[in-house]
A and B are shown apart, each in its own frame.
Chain A
Amino acid sequence: VRSIARVAASFLFSCVTLSLGAGPSAGCGEDGSAPYAGWDTAEDSDGVYRVRFLAPPWKRVPTTEGDGRIELVVPQVFGSLDAGTPPKYTLEASLLRGLALPTLQAEIARISSARVLRDPAPFTTLSSDIGFSAVLADSTNARFYQLVTLAAPSDRALLVVVELNEDPRNDLEIDAMLRAIDVRPFAE
């Protein structure tokens, strides 16, 4: 009986110690387990949309002030040196006049050397913005393209073009990045 009492007392003491240790430490820093924790946000100059990206490896490329564009790249680097070769990934977002689907079809036609791997299909972001998505492959430069258009205010469409080396249909990271795009009105 005394042994059981000792174990019970030790267990209670341990629980109290553990909870005391866990309590004060629970509020330090941003919660890394939260969705998109540690990701940065890029917002266009007019505040119409914003894109989340993980930096590094993504880097924002400066664009002309007021053109409504956002350009991001994942450069090929060796150590801290940019290899100068085409980036592993590029993402370009821009606002165009028109609706989402015709804008996407026009962009597919513009990349004439590419073949369509996935026809335009409905696409919804985490903030419930609605649009369309398609996947292309360009054999001339061995690059893949994922195109997304989203409805934007003032009869505009947000066109997002991601260029990469691998088939984006299996790339969950790119999918997570595209689904995090938010068009005004922004979700909280």
Chain B
Amino acid sequence: MRAANRPPLAVLALSSLTLLFAAAARADDPAVTAVDTPSLARDGEVRASDGPAAIPSVAAADSDAPRQSGAALAEPPAGVAPRRAEPLPAPVDEDPPWDGPRVELGYTHYSLGDGFGGGAVHAVSFGGYLPTGQLRLGLIGDGGARDYALGGGDAVLRATLVAGWQGVGLVDYVMPYVVAVASCGVVVGQRFATTFADALLGLGVEVGFEVNPVRTLHFGASLAHVRADLDGLGYGLWVLRLFVGL
């Protein structure tokens, strides 16, 4: 009984072949291809590479925009109805610029002379400043190594408080600033096989600039003159800092 209800194999095979031939014929027809898989190229042409979602709307087809293959859209072959494109999503506003604190990662170099030809300090700095308009208020920490000409290097850790003026909006993409700096830190090392840790204190002035090419990404450089005290000895430090931040 069940076998009698089944369509004959020959009918199934014929139906399949018919569908295959029909599909092949549609694939060979360029007009049909243009309608099924168009895309809007940069110059307004419709190209066959993107999905159906890119089909121009009817309103768009009536516009004065230059068309080439779009002619095929105007008169679709029978049985192929142009589909309306999905309405374009409402333009999404870009995120407003970050108006919170800025952070920076940088490289700091200065010379804390040891009296024997050494003393160069190379340090990594990390810090930031608050969004306080023309008032620049920030904190920077740096840590690095100090070359000692007569032995192994010293470790230097420093925290610097900066406060001063910054030229917000003064020049496009560039923001100069002048700040007072106050720093404290510690130098740890060995002299004659004996470990020491001395406080490093400093006061000075720093000038610098930031270049702000896009959003909050910025990079810049600064030069500071800091009068520092290390274990009762005075140093006039010229502190160079290169940084990049967000």
Residues of A at under 8 Å CB distance from B? 3, 6-7, 10-11, 13-15, 17-18, 20-22, 25-26, 28-38, 54, 56-58, 74, 77, 88-89, 165-166, 172-173, 176
* Other-chain residue from B111, B114, B207 in contact with A14 (beta carbon distance below 8 A): B207
Q: A22 to B225, Cβ gap below 8 A?
A: yes
Chain B interface residue count, CB cutoff 8 Å, equals 39
Interface string of B193-232 (1 = CB under 8 A from A): 1101000000111010100000000000001010101111
Q: B233 to A30, Cβ gap below 8 A?
A: yes
A32 to B207, CA, bound (A): 24
Q: Is the interface of B mostly helix, strand, loop or mixed?
A: strand
Count of chain A to chain B residue pairs whose CB atoms are closer than 8 Å in the complex: 112
A165 to B203, CA, bound (A): 41
Given contacts A29-B232, A88-B193, whether A17 and B178 have CB atoms under 8 Å apart is: yes
Given contacts A10-B170, A21-B204, whether A29 and B194 have CB atoms under 8 Å apart is: no
Q: B207 to A17, Cβ gap below 8 A?
A: yes
Residues of B at under 8 Å CB distance from A? 111-116, 119, 149-151, 167, 170-172, 174, 176, 178, 180, 191-194, 196, 203-205, 207, 209, 223, 225, 227, 229-236
Q: A6 to B231, Cβ gap below 8 A?
A: no
Q: Which residues on A sit within 8 Å (CB–CB) of B178?
A: 13-14, 17
Q: Which residues on A sit within 8 Å (CB–CB) of B223?
A: 18
Q: Which residue of A lies closest to B229 (CB)?
A: A29
* Other-chain residue from A34, A57, A172 in contact with B115 (beta carbon distance below 8 A): A34
Q: A14 to B176, Cβ gap below 8 A?
A: yes
Q: Which residue of B lies closest to A32 (CB)?
A: B233
Q: A15 to B233, Cβ gap below 8 A?
A: no
- Looking at A20, A166, A172, the one whose CB has the most chain B CB atoms below 10 A away is A172
Q: A10 to B192, Cβ gap below 8 A?
A: no
Q: Which residues on B sit within 8 Å (CB–CB) of A11?
A: 176
Q: Which residues on B sit within 8 Å (CB–CB) of A7?
A: 171, 174, 176
Q: B170 to A172, Cβ gap below 8 A?
A: no
Q: What are 22 A-B contacts with C-beta separation under 8 Å?
A: A20-B205, A21-B180, A21-B204, A22-B236, A28-B234, A29-B229, A30-B232, A30-B233, A31-B234, A32-B112, A32-B115, A32-B230, A32-B233, A32-B234, A33-B113, A35-B115, A37-B233, A57-B196, A74-B193, A74-B194, A88-B192, A88-B193
A56 to B115, CA, bound (A): 17
